[in-house]
Amino acid sequence: MAYGTTSRKIALVGIGKIARDQHLPALQASDDWDLAATVSRSGAIEGVEAHDDFDAFLTARPDVEVVSLCLPPQPRFDYAKKALLARRHVMLEKPPGQTLAEVHELERLAAKQGVTLYATWHSRMAAGVAAAKSRLVERVVQSLRITWKEDVRKWHPGQEWVFAPGGMGVFDPGINALSILTEILPEPVHLVSAELEFPENRDTPIAARLEFTGNVGAVFDWRQEGPQTWDIEIETNKGSIALRDGGARIEVDGAEQKLLDHPGEYPSLYARMAQLVANRESEVDLAPMIHVADAMTLGRRITVAPFEFDKETT
């Protein structure tokens, strides 16, 4: 459904993997949005007006009232702050910043400027998540296990920023699981212990084991070759529920549940952004990032083998 009678102009900022894989197709398929420009130092999209400097773009295109930031987390705050000061509505990829304080500052600024700030969590829009959440309302959760194991070389080929400070390491995908956890659980939990495995040549973890209150646990590992696993398995007083494939599928007592037609994670995010802008509202939920910050604060550090994207140099 389109909000308003005409589509709103939007600029996509940081034309890299996720901008091309997900944001572009979602925008092209949407009646809510008109992709008016891109801003990227080197990336561009054929047929779309391209800028390579954000300040110059903000000056040149005051008519583009919304920007969607698809940059890695490290440069995101500076871009978001400039956009908010220029009174643009801002949509943030996950995680919404490098630190909690950065995002609090953006929230304050958005409110002061009277514009929308949307900190997106794409995994919350996965097809099975709402179904799992509604089923848990009626049940008591006895245990919940997250297993998020993937191959960083496959999903982040050569993306050095994930291992740089602020890149979060394995929490870059792990925070997707935590965004689902914090969405579906009827009662909040908090971290009680963590073990973080840091490659000896890297600044962020490549694997993590987390234990929360409420018999909730998580294992994240970026060294998984072969089959990839993104599962959340829940035991309740009325049987089991499992979310598989990052929330795309749901099983109840081991039986796959048929889901209604689903628009997809990114089309759902852009529909929500259209709604927020139309209503002049913001949505910023930092619960998933609080768990990551707690893990970094409370986690025991274990040093493991060095990691290089190119296996030959490891």
User: Which residues 71-100 are close enough to bind ligand NAP by CB under 6 A?
Assistant: 71-75, 93-94
**DSSP-derived pairing of the beta strands 207-212 and 191-199:** antiparallel
* Interface map 245-274 toward ligand NAP (x if CB under 6 A): ------------------------------
Q: Which of 11, 70, 269, 295 binds ligand NAP (CB under 6 A)?
A: 70
**Residue 299: DSSP 8-state:** P
The catalytically annotated residue of 17, 94, 112, 258 is 94
| Residue 17 interacts with ligand NAP (CB under 6 A): yes or no | yes
| Residue 309 interacts with ligand NAP (CB under 6 A): yes or no | no
Q: State which residue, 19 or 136, has the beta carbon closest to ligand NAP.
A: 19
Strands (E), 200-299: 207-212, 216-221, 229-236, 239-244, 249-252, 255-256
Q: State which residue, 52 or 225, has the beta carbon closest to ligand NAP.
A: 52
User: Which residues 50-69 are close enough to bind ligand NAP by CB under 6 A?
Assistant: none
| Residue 313 interacts with ligand NAP (CB under 6 A): yes or no | no
Q: State which residue, 51 or 135, has the beta carbon closest to ligand NAP.
A: 51
Please enumerate, as own/partner, the contacts of 104-112 that have beta carbons within 8 Å and a separation of 24 or more.
Answer: 104/286, 105/77, 105/81, 106/77, 106/80, 106/81, 106/284, 107/282, 107/284, 109/81, 109/84, 109/85, 110/84, 110/282, 111/282
Which residue's CB atom is positioned nearest to ligand NAP?
16
Judged by DSSP in three states, 103 sits in: helix
- Find the shortest distance in angstroms from Cβ 120 to ligand NAP: 9
Question: In sequence order, what are the residues at sequence separation of 6 or more whose Cβ sits closer than 8 angstroms to the Cβ of residue 67?
Answer: 10, 11, 12, 13, 39, 79, 83, 88, 89, 90, 91
Q: Of how many residues is the chain composed?
A: 314
Is 94 catalytic? The answer is yes
**Residues annotated catalytic, as ranges:** 94
* Residues binding ligand NAP (CB under 6 A): 14-19, 40-43, 70-75, 93-94, 122, 155, 159, 172
